[in-house]
Amino acid sequence: MSGSVDRELSPAPPLKLSLRGVRKSYVGRAGPVLAVDGIDLDVSEGEFVCLVGPSGCGKSTLLSLVAGLERPDGGAVLADGKPVVGPGRERTMMFQEHALFPWRTVEGNVRFGLELKEGLDRATRGEVAEHYLRLVGLEGFRRAWVHELSGGMRQRVALARALAPNPRVLLMDEPFAALDAMSRERLYEDLQRIFAARRTTVLFVTHNVREAACLGDRIVVMSARPGRVVGEVRVALPRPRDINRSDVVEHAREVTRLLSVPAGAAS
């Protein structure tokens, strides 16, 4: 492996995220909707934070704000203390639907972010893409088209594509919601293996409290209309964690309790 590949593959230092009084509203058909309001959230370097909350509480909105795809109406979104002004490859994102490009092969998708990096030659990009495909267990599918893959394989490619530009924050919006339990559990193992080897700050949205307890260092619980943070649960269990272990389930129960507290009573 050449020096530039090594450099490219050594994980970038993770970012610290801070949200301060973040407010965001949308103007929709039914008039303005206050999606999130007064969100304060800190995610430290290399921390894996899960966001859970009822549908429509603004979880995707928060990720879009951190990604820089949307701008807050009030408050501040800070990455390492600097305001986020737009999207950038130090904060990549995995979407609920895989959002892979059908006109590119599996490898072409993983290369997309690499092609935007200056100073990488073709061979280096190829080796880096290869590395991430191996990491997600799809090295044999380099030349496949996206529609030829199963749902779980697509999300693996999406993960490889999001990791390849070597982000400092990975934003994941319910990436496994559409998968069957078996593919999901395999992905939990792989995800834990991948993040054991690299410290990347992760903000992970999910509906699934067990998934949150299995993956997160911390679980942030939100309430809806407008979206607010109502509480959090720390998960200090050793990794790798099995989602069916009783202590994981215990933490998940605590999250469920927080979710069922009526809004307003929590603060």
Ligand X SMILES: Nc1ncnc2c1ncn2[C@@H]1O[C@H](COP(=O)(O)OP(=O)(O)OP(=O)(O)O)[C@@H](O)[C@H]1O
| Interface ranges with other proteins (CB under 8 A) | 67-69, 86-89, 91-93, 95, 97, 99, 101-104, 112-113, 115-117, 145-148, 161-162, 165, 171
Nearer to other proteins, 6 or 115 (CB): 115
Residues 6+ apart with CB under 8 A from 244: none
Cross-strand pairs, 171: 93, 203
Residue 26 touching ligand X (CB under 6 A) = yes
64 near Mg ion, judged by CB under 5 A: no
Does 223 engage in binding with Mg ion (CB under 5 A)? no
Q: How many residues bind ligand X (CB under 6 A)?
A: 12
Based on CB atoms, which residue is closest to ligand X, 129 or 158? 158
Judged by CB under 6 A, the stretch of 56-64, 114-122, 133-141, 210-218 that binds ligand X is: 56-64
Residue 145 binding target from other proteins, Mg ion, ligand X, none, CB below 5 to 8 Å by type: other proteins
User: Is residue 143 within 8 Å of residue 130, measured between CB atoms?
Assistant: no
Supply angle C-alpha 154, 187, 185, rounded to 5: 125
Of residues 115 and 250, the one with the C-beta less far from other proteins: 115
Count the residues in the chain: 267
Half-sphere exposure of 240 (CA within 13 A, CB side): 16
Within 42-61, the residues that bind Mg ion by CB under 5 A are 60
Q: Which stretch binds ligand X (CB under 6 A): 57-65, 104-112, 144-152, 160-168?
A: 57-65
109 part of the interface to ligand X, by CB under 6 A: no
Of 165, 163, 177, 154, nearest to 59 by C-alpha is: 177
Binding partner of 155, given Mg ion, other proteins, ligand X, none, CB within 5-8 angstroms per partner class: none
Q: Find tokens 């050449």 and name the residue.
A: 2
Phi, psi dihedral angles at 219 (to 5 degrees): -120, 120
Shortest Cβ 177–other proteins spacing (Å): 15
56 binding ligand X? (CB under 6 A): yes
Q: Are 226 and 35 in contact (CB under 8 A)?
A: yes
Cα dihedral: 156, 160, 161, 162 (round 10): 100
Binding of ligand X at residue 202 (CB under 6 A)?
no
List 14, 46, 58, 216, residue binding ligand X (CB under 6 A): 58
DSSP 202-234: EEEE-S-HHHHHHH-SEEEEEETTTBEEEEEEE
Interface ranges with ligand X (CB under 6 A): 26, 28, 33, 35, 53, 55-61
Interface ranges with Mg ion (CB under 5 A): 60
